[in-house]
Amino acid sequence: MEKSRAVKRAPNGQLLPGTASIGGASKATGEALSFFRAHCVSAAHVLVQLLDHKEPKIRLDAAREILDRGLGRATAAADTPEGTANAALAALLTRYAASSPPPPARQLATVEILDPEGE
């Protein structure tokens, strides 16, 4: 068990300059982040490949993940006559899948992930 240490604080409770933060990230956390960052490109390639999957739900989920990461997650679902925007989009994809051949395979882009720690 780690010993607690006294932390120097100003009268208002703020940490004084030169005092280490109490809840900083551990070395293990940094190592885990580095490990996962090294696999981000592979994960992105998998999501792009899933855009061509035969199942509409899988294509929709992959598209949603890509859009959430590229544009940010929607703050609220929009209402449509058919229900929520997600339900309307799923219905459109189902109709599209029944009437159209699958889209052509996509060329995967090369993405370079920069390490914020300079390693």
Query: Tens digits of per-residue pLDDT, 75-91?
Result: 665 655 556 666 767 77
Secondary structure string (H, E, C) spanning the chain: CCCCCCCCECCCCCECCCCCCCCCCCHHHHHHHHHHHHCHHHHHHHHHHHCCCCCHHHHHHHHHHHHHHHHCCCCCCCEECCEEHHHHHHHHHHHHHHHCCCCCCCCCCCCCCCCCCCC
Res. 118 pLDDT band, cuts 50 70 90: low
pTM recorded for the entire structure = 0.43
Average the pLDDT over 33-62 and give the result. Answer: 90
Average the pLDDT over 46-68 and give the result. Answer: 91
**What pLDDT sits at residue 31?**
85
